[in-house]
Structure 1
Amino acid sequence: MVTRRRFLKGSLAAGAVALLPWVPRVAEAATLRIRPSWSTFCASEMFPVYIEAIRTMQANLNSADPASWSYWVDVHKNFCPHRTAYFLAWHRGFLFRLEAQLRKVAGNSNLTLPYWDYYTNPVMPVEFTDPASPLYVLNRRNTDVTAALALDAFADSVVNFQSGLVNAFESTLESLPHNPVHNIIGGAMGSVTVSPRDPIFWLHHANVDRLWAAWVSAGNGRTMPPKSDTYWKGSFVYGAALPTMARTWAFDTLGLGYQYEDGSMPVALPAPPPPAPVSAVTMQAFSSTLPQALVMTLGSGQPLALDERSVTIKVPLDAAGRSTVRSLLLRQPAKGAPPAVNSSLRVVLDGVRLTPLGKEGGFFHKLYINLPTTPGLSQPESRYLLGTLGPFEITSMLNHERLHGGKMHADNDPVQLSFPITDALREIWPEQLEVLTISFVRMDNGTPRKGRVITVQELRVDASDPAAMPAM
């Protein structure tokens, strides 16, 4: 860990590398800047420089100019990959380009982006809640992101990197905590198309980038595709006013000339504030009939409305359905095949929409399959967790279809979301297959506004033959 004293002394030159716990692995880094934690950054001479640079960029109304704040909002809307490969690498380049622009606007080559380590302090820094500051934006729903945090991405079993592989860090980190932090804060942060408008976006993504670097450094079987791999061929785009960036530039932070004040993965979650939400690590006596939960049987075409309550959906299986599910679960996964080939069972949500209240954010739902009903059980939640659902996931899908499917969506158009369940069912192997239960567990700050936030036209379980699916 780089100490606060070392950072405050401004040890930015290559000669300071000897003071750090590791040295650059690549030759591109002529100097090594330190991206500090927010608390360190606020105590440094760079803090007022940063504030004025942001204020200047926000005052620039030319969205075609990289010196304007809106330029970066548009770049994220038009080029960012979510729910797909390069989510982490593209955003690393995005931060790197913005950081360079901040230095240019400030006229100070020592300025770096800080990060918000919400695993240490889950409450948004107070400087972002001052209405007189350029760090403040209207309509945030929450400033405490405790309910958004999880340790799933840092488990020893998560050894692969890129989306599309089993036990993949990139997709696991995107699902938790990346998306839920966006959802819990809400406001602009809850929508993929405008989230960079909120200055907390940049601290959030700097922390996501830091967690990626920490995962790589942790070793213990964790594997990145080597720089020579075809995965790194090609380039990233950051708007018409800036040159493209070779993907290899984002291979690690040291090649870009920076590292983080703290290079370690989180090992514990912050204590939840009262009233305590459901544990993000284990479940004690966690039932599919949660207190104040709705228990429903969803028929074909029957709509579902999600509000401030948790909901369990029962999906009955007839004799043919039970036979199909057992057959697919007993089939051996194809060795080395991407998960999509082996994930033959999926929960599909069709016609998903946000309500006006839902667009404000401040919440998300965790989706589980077959939560146990026996009191006293204690199992990792990852055994049952399928993913998360909130404003950011829905707007991400809308934007993904616009960018990659050529579909021009309005903000209230419906989308389809699917969640693979094959691996989870193989892991828990339910004794009874007459009914599958899908639980939507509401996560928020403990004092939610009441009302519908998400509507789903139809929930169904799809089964497909993996042998008939195309290889990816």
Structure 2
Amino acid sequence: MKIDRRKALAGAAMLGLYPGAAVAQTARRVRRGASSLSATSDDVVAFGEAMALMKRRGDQRSWSRQNTIHARNGQHNNGLFLPWHRLQLAHLERIIAELTGHAAFAMPYWDAQEHQTLPSWVTGTDAPLYERQRARGVDVLDFSAARWARSPHVARLTSDGFETFAGKLPDGAGMVEGYGHNFIHELVGGLMKRLAAAANDPIFWLHHANVDRVWATWHARQAANIYPADWTARRLGGFVGAQGEDTGDWRVGDVLETGSLGYVYDHLYPFPVFSAPDSGPPGATRREPLGGVVYQMRADGEAGRDRMSVTLPAEAVTRMAAADDSLMIAGAGSVAYTATEQLLDRSIEIRMTCGGRGISLGSSPTFLHLTEGEHAGHLGDYSLPFRFGEEVLNLIDDGSRPVTITVEAEDLDPGAGRPPAQGAALDLSLTLTESRWA
């Protein structure tokens, strides 16, 4: 393969990856954006060559083995989603480096918001990373437009707390998984739509490199104590090293910095702010809370039904209808469904309605484990967060009509005639805080 041998020699000491040990290196590997690369770029050539080699192997370094690791042991719909995928991706990088001799190999990332279409070196039938089992038209799809058309909800890299961003334990996706990650799997289609096969498509790895980059961006903006101690103490294992060996267990707290695994990104995620700043009277810069009230609501699922709904208290609706810019509104909720085959090929749709009008509070295609392995015996519930703020004032009229939040698991293949998914619970906490501008 045509690679820069000087870079390869500079990175030759980086092939080992073991928990608890500093990475020996003369330079960090740099993960670069898809739009800055071509079919002849060293990292693209190495990835394509390694994938072809791994598909011919039948040992621990085979391509199918990487998919099996993800299908059986991958962490999804919980707070270990980010560190688990970071570790699998870092280990694959080392395998590729070893098999191809390109020791400085770094996985390219594909950001659907910054690089709106897939690179040609992934989609062309003669491309090194081509996969035939993808959705029709994926080679020309504007992923950014398609994703925003479905849902305006995303992780907030400047303000999301840990559980909101990363997820909960034992069950519960974070915003980055539920609203950033899942949509790409659905839109790419084919192998990517099924957790049991997703890692067979090379787009999977480019996508997860970008998910990891989003985490790195959020991490850089947080205080050192943002991570719960019980989370950082968790251990993850089952990964395959550069020589096909089991690399042992990894403590989550040891992989919070990409540098500890020997890589950096060419630049961090460039879209950190997704909500408009507060604006108030002339000269005012912030709102100071004066006190407020919290309303808690819950609806349990009914047997054989996927639809669940809660109605906001009339008192809260009346206050919001009369609100000026001194009222601070914070709604935070979660929806849960029983994780069964009936939940595959669904999209969790959360809406707030008032009279005959409605707005979306969340939309996310499902992506869940239904396989043997580490998750066997504990599928739990499939849980998705949602939130809202002052934007709901555009929906509420004079306060005389009820305001309802409804969730449904919409079937993405309605012609199949399947029975509905089983709703488990809809929980909502609504906080109304009086404030003054200062």
TM bucket (normalised to shorter chain) is 0.5 to 0.7
Does residue 1:175 correspond to 2:175, yes or no?
A: no
In structure 2, stretches of 5+ residues that fail to align are 12-21, 277-300, 318-330, 430-438
Correspondence for 2:161? 159
TM normalised by structure 1 equals 0.61
Q: Cα–Cα, structure 1 residues 125 and 140, in superposed 2: closer, same or farther, change >3 Å?
A: same
How far has the Cα of 1:354 moved from its partner?
5.0
Distance in 2 between residues matched to 1:346 and 1:120, nearest whole Å: 29
Whether the 8 Å contact between 1:348 and 1:462 is mirrored in structure 2 is yes
**Structure 2 Cα separation of the partners of residues 175 and 195 of structure 1:** 16
Alignment-derived partner of residue 436 in structure 1: 404
Matches within 5 A, 1:176-325: 176-217=179-220, 219=221, 222-223=222-223, 225=225, 229-239=229-239, 241-247=245-251, 248-266=253-271, 315=309
- What letter is aligned with 2:208? H
Cα distance, 1:156 vs. partner?
3.2
Instruction: Summarize deviations over 1:27-63 as a string: whole Å, max 9, x none.
Output: 8765211111123332533432332121111122x1x
CA distance in structure 2 between the aligned counterparts of 1:97 and 1:110, rounded to whole angstroms? 13
Q: What is the CA–CA distance in structure 2 between the aligned matches of 1:314 and 1:83, rounded to whole Å? A: 20
**1:352, 1:455 within 8 Å by CA — same for their partners in 2?**
no
Residue of 28, 33, 49 corresponding to 1:37:
33
Cα deviations by residue, 1:352-396 (Å, 9 ceiling, x for unpaired): 6459xx75xxxx635223245677x9x8x6xx23x5233x2xx33
Distance across 2 between alignment mates of 1:27 and 1:106: 20
Q: Tell me what 2:47 maps to.
A: 50
Offset of 1:13 from its aligned partner?
A: 5.5
**Alpha-carbon distance in structure 2 between the residues aligned to 1:41 and 1:28:** 27
| 1:330 corresponds to | none
Q: Distance in 2 between matches of 1:10 and 1:29?
A: 12
User: Do the aligned partners of 2:23 and 2:261 also contact (CA within 8 Å) in 1?
Assistant: no
Question: Is 1:389 matched with 2:383?
Answer: no
Matches within 5 A, 1:59-208: 59-60=56-57, 62=58, 64-66=59-61, 68-141=62-135, 143=138, 144=141, 145-146=143-144, 147-148=146-147, 152-160=154-162, 162-164=166-168, 171-208=174-211
Q: How many Å separate the matches in 2 of 1:29 and 1:371?
A: 56
What is the SS of the residue equivalent to 2:161?
coil
Cα pair distance change 1:100/1:420, threshold 3 Å: closer
SS at match of 1:152: coil
The TM-score with structure 2 as length reference comes to 0.65
1:59 partner letter? R
Give the counterpart letter for 2:404 in structure 1. L
RMSD: 4.6
Question: Contact conserved, 1:12 with 1:34, CA < 8 A, in 2?
Answer: no
Distance in 1, Cα, partners of 2:227 & 2:302? 48
Alignment of 1:7-46 (within 5 A): 30-42=26-38, 44-46=41-43
Q: 1:396-449 deviations in whole A, cap 9, x for unaligned?
A: 3x24x8634526x9xxxxx9645567x669996975786735255979xxxx98
Question: 252-261 or 428-437: which moved more?
Answer: 428-437
Secondary structure of 2:54's match? helix
Residues in 1 aligned to 2:417 and 2:118: alpha-carbon distance in whole angstroms: 24
Per-residue CA deviation, residues 332-365 of structure 1 (Å, 9 max, x unaligned), is: xxxxxxxxxx98x86554586459xx75xxxx63
Query: Is residue 374 of structure 2 the alignment partner of residue 403 of structure 1?
Result: yes
326, 334, 350: which is aligned to 1:368? 350
User: 1:116 is paired with a residue of what secondary structure?
Assistant: coil
C-alpha distance in 2 between matches for 1:420 and 1:87 = 15
Counterparts in 2 of 1:352 and 1:242: CA distance versus 1, 3 Å: closer
Could you tell me which runs of 5 or more consecutive residues in structure 1 were left unpaired when the two chains were aligned: 1-6, 15-25, 270-279, 282-298, 305-312, 327-341, 410-414, 466-472
In the aligned structure 2, how far is the partner of 1:233 from the partner of 1:416?
Answer: 24
User: For the Cα contact (< 8 Å) 1:54–1:69, is it kept in 2?
Assistant: yes
The change in CA–CA distance for 1:249 and 1:112 in structure 2 (over 3 A counts) is same
Q: Given that residues 46 and 96 in structure 2 are in contact (C-alpha distance below 8 angstroms), is that contact kept between their aligned partners in structure 1?
A: no
Given the superposition, is the C-alpha separation of residues 373 and 184 from structure 1 closer, same or farther in structure 2, using an over 3 Å criterion?
farther
Question: Counterpart amino acid of 1:214?
Answer: T
1:352·1:454 contact (CA, 8 Å) conserved in 2? no
Q: Does the 8 Å CA contact 1:352/1:417 hold for their aligned counterparts? A: no
- Structure 2: distance between partners of 1:259 and 1:74: 27
Query: Shift in Å at residue 154 of structure 1?
Result: 2.5
The one-letter amino acid paired with 2:200 is: R
CA distance in 1, matches of 2:239, 2:147: 31
Contact 1:28 1:255 (8 Å CA) reproduced: no
Deviation at 1:194, TM superposition (A): 1.2
Q: Is the CA contact (8 Å cut-off) linking 2:75 and 2:84 kept in structure 1?
A: yes
Rounded to whole Å, the distance in 1 between the matches of 2:196 and 2:353 is 34
Q: Are the aligned partners of 1:128 and 1:136 in contact in 2 as well (CA < 8 Å)?
A: yes
Could you tell me whether the CA contact under 8 Å between 1:30 and 1:257 is conserved in 2? Answer: no
Residue type matched to 2:246 in 1?
L
Is the partner of 2:168 in helix, strand or coil? coil
Distance 2:390 2:340 in 1: 27
Q: 1:416 to 1:245 in 2, by over 3 A?
A: closer
Percent pairwise identity:
22
Letter in 1 for 2:250: A
Separation in 1 of the partners of 2:425 and 2:9?
A: 55
Query: In 2, distance between residues paired with 1:92 and 1:49?
Result: 20
CA distance in 2 between partners of 1:28 and 1:228 (Å): 29
Amino acid at match of 2:232: W
